[in-house]
Amino acid sequence: MWSVSKFAFIFSIFVAGIFLFPSIVACAEAAGDIEGNPDYMGTWDRMMQSFNNRFYGKEKVPFDVNSMWKMETNLGSYNMSVLVELDPKDVYKIERDFGHDAVPELVYSLENGNSIYSIDIETDQVIGSFFYGLKYSLGMTTTETLATADYVETLSLNHVLSITDKDSLVGRTEEGISTQALREHYGLDKIEYTGKDVKIAVLDTGVYINNSYNSYNVSRTFVNTTILDDDGIDRLGHGSHVISTINGNLVDIGGTEMHGLAYDSTVYSIKVLNDKGSGTEADIIKGLELAMSYDVDIISMSLGGYMPPFTPFYDTIEEAVSRGIIVICAAGNDGTKGPYPAAPAAWDGVISVGALDIDGYLAFFTNLNYDVATVGKDVTAPAYYEGTYGRVTLSGTSMATPVFSALVACFLEAHPGYKGRPSDVQDVFLKTGDYRNPDNSKKYLMFSWDILGYNDYYYSDFPEADVVAAIDSENSVYPSSGRPMTFSSIQFWRTLGVSP
């Protein structure tokens, strides 16, 4: 004999089936769109996202929040760091509903009147389990979470990003390609432009300033600040190396002469990464807001991570670009594991920078599908590193990024009318870049075989920046090539163990 409780249980399962069936069908139909496209989530991931949308409201809880919640729960983690969009008048409700430990910290204000806040909160107070969401969507009694709070507009992770060349940031002090040699390589000593009247914000690990080792134009073209709760001093060495590359003074260390590529530019060092080279999305957003308040021409970021677009970080990048700031970011150093640039280099409006060696060959570590490349392998600059001052040699797209930022600064000095026009600057450097194949006799013979057709422009999609040609852009033309080596073909050779 059927009891009332059994009937209620069967009825709830029936309702749930009707409720979820459209999501399952939609995900099954979407599976064909996912195949072969790494930008799409897998079928199961899309299904879970569809459930989240139906449970909590469309895109209120993105999939990466769900994934992180699940991972943190499995690890037994107590807290999660998240970003929420709220009306400022509702901020008090967070502490009211989730306790005194959940104190919202303002990150930035939106044009719609809402603001983004960062919150460190108990893991189970973020979204709860799958069946929790199902109960909530069916109108059953649940304990409130951020996902179910009606005053929370959107919910996202407070992602952690880091310097893009973390694996290659090792204690290397042997001499590589000095910044002075890079000046000669890019023809800067033959032109009169030095980045004068161009303002560059460098978001990194800060900078170490020492009176006995003044490699920076501190007195006249330098501003040092921090988003973190510290003194803004670089104790890692990464930010110091990056800034020396851009606007370091002329110094001679052990017979190696070094001079910043755009030594008359004004650099704003904004420390957004800690002394281990990582930082939260909230801190980097604050750094971007500070850079915009300085009315800079260029934002240079040798940092990144793998995270989706349409996050608060993405929105702030888009705001900077919409204001006419040229945003330049490192593509990342995952080599064959990372054929696509990391974020934010991969996002719309950002100029992504890959790395080459001094001979023009792709660095083995650089991610592909970037916009433009500069030398980033074995770059030597004066910097603080591991407690000492001297010439420091590092490799990474983190090193290529300040080289390109400096070249753009020289271009803007020559053509100030391009300030505030990031897409036009990108087009000029793509149009005028050096697409010539390096000398094949120095490296892989297979690339000079005519039968393969790779004997002319294998940098078809990957030009090396040519600032002299960019400045004289009226006389520059696109290269022509019959069978260029492209993104896909370079990745093919890499999978065979060859880095062209």
Output the domain CATH number for residue 458: 3.40.50.200
> Residue 274 has what pLDDT?
92
> Residue 489 has what pLDDT?
65
Q: Domain boundary residue among 135, 158, 181?
A: 158
- Asked if 266 and 223 count as a contact pair (C-beta separation under 8 A), the reply is yes
Residue 319 and residue 339 share a domain: yes
- Rounded Cα–Cα distance for residues 432 and 343 (Å): 26
- DSSP H or E segment with residue 279: strand 278-280
Residue 226 and residue 297 share a domain: yes
> Residue 426 has what pLDDT?
95
- Rounded Cα–Cα distance for residues 65 and 468 (Å): 46
Instruction: Label the pairing between strands 79-86 and 115-122.
Output: antiparallel
Residue 228 and residue 151 share a domain: no
- Rounded Cα–Cα distance for residues 208 and 293 (Å): 23
Place of tokens 């006799």: 441
Residue 122 and residue 195 share a domain: no
Q: Domain boundary residue among 112, 131, 158?
A: 158
- Coil, strand or helix: which one is 75? coil
Residue 398 and residue 437 share a domain: yes
Residue 198 and residue 58 share a domain: no
238 a catalytic residue = yes
Range of the domain at 176: 162-495
Residue 177 and residue 143 share a domain: no
Residue 433 and residue 359 share a domain: yes
500 within some domain: no
- DSSP H or E segment with residue 281: helix 281-293
Q: Domain boundary residue among 158, 176, 210?
A: 158
Residue 339 and residue 214 share a domain: yes
CA nearest to 183, candidates 239, 248, 253, 241: 248
185 within some domain: yes
**Sign of the CA dihedral with 107 first, then 41, 68, and 125 last:** positive
181 within some domain: yes
- Rounded Cα–Cα distance for residues 137 and 402 (Å): 50
What crossing angle do the helices spanning 422-432 and 397-414 adopt, rounded to 10°? 100
Residue of 137, 240, 265, 398 marked active site: 398
State the CB neighbour count (10 A cutoff) for residue 292: 17
What total number of domains does the chain contain?
2
Residue 230 and residue 130 share a domain: no
CA nearest to 38, candidates 367, 260, 466, 450: 367
Question: What predicted TM-score, i.e. pTM, was given to this entire model?
Answer: 0.84
Residue of 50, 118, 215, 238 marked active site: 238
Burial class (CB in 10 A: 0-12, 13-18, 19+), 172: middle
Give the tokens for residue 111. 């044009």
> How do the pLDDT tens digits run along the chain, 500 residues long?
455 455 444 445 444 454 444 444 444 333 333 333 334 456 777 777 888 888 888 878 888 888 888 888 888 878 899 999 999 999 999 999 998 888 899 999 988 899 999 999 999 899 887 778 888 888 887 788 999 999 999 999 999 999 975 444 444 556 789 999 999 999 998 898 999 999 999 999 988 876 555 666 554 455 677 787 787 888 888 998 999 999 988 888 888 888 899 999 999 999 999 988 999 999 999 999 999 999 999 999 999 998 888 889 999 999 999 999 999 999 999 876 667 889 999 998 999 999 998 988 888 888 888 999 999 999 999 887 767 778 889 999 999 999 999 999 999 999 999 999 999 999 999 989 887 767 654 454 444 444 444 444 445 567 899 999 999 986 555 444 444 556 666 666 666 666 65
Residue of 64, 165, 204, 461 marked active site: 204
- Rounded Cα–Cα distance for residues 432 and 435 (Å): 9
Residue 150 and residue 168 share a domain: no
- Rounded Cα–Cα distance for residues 147 and 55 (Å): 9
- Asked if 209 and 218 count as a contact pair (C-beta separation under 8 A), the reply is yes
- How many residues can be counted in the chain? 500
120 within some domain: yes
Burial 31-68 (b: 16+ CB within 10 A, else e): eeebeeeeeebebebbbbbbbbbbbbbeebbbbbbbeb
398 a catalytic residue = yes
> Residue 481 has what pLDDT?
44
> Residue 139 has what pLDDT?
84
Place of tokens 């391009």: 418
> Residue 213 has what pLDDT?
53
Q: In whole angstroms, how large is the CA radius of gyration of the chain?
A: 25
Alpha helices per DSSP H over 197-280? 218-221, 238-247
- DSSP H or E segment with residue 81: strand 79-86
Ramachandran sector of residue 187 (left: φ over 0; alpha: ψ -120 to 50; beta: rest)? left
Residue 183 and residue 303 share a domain: yes
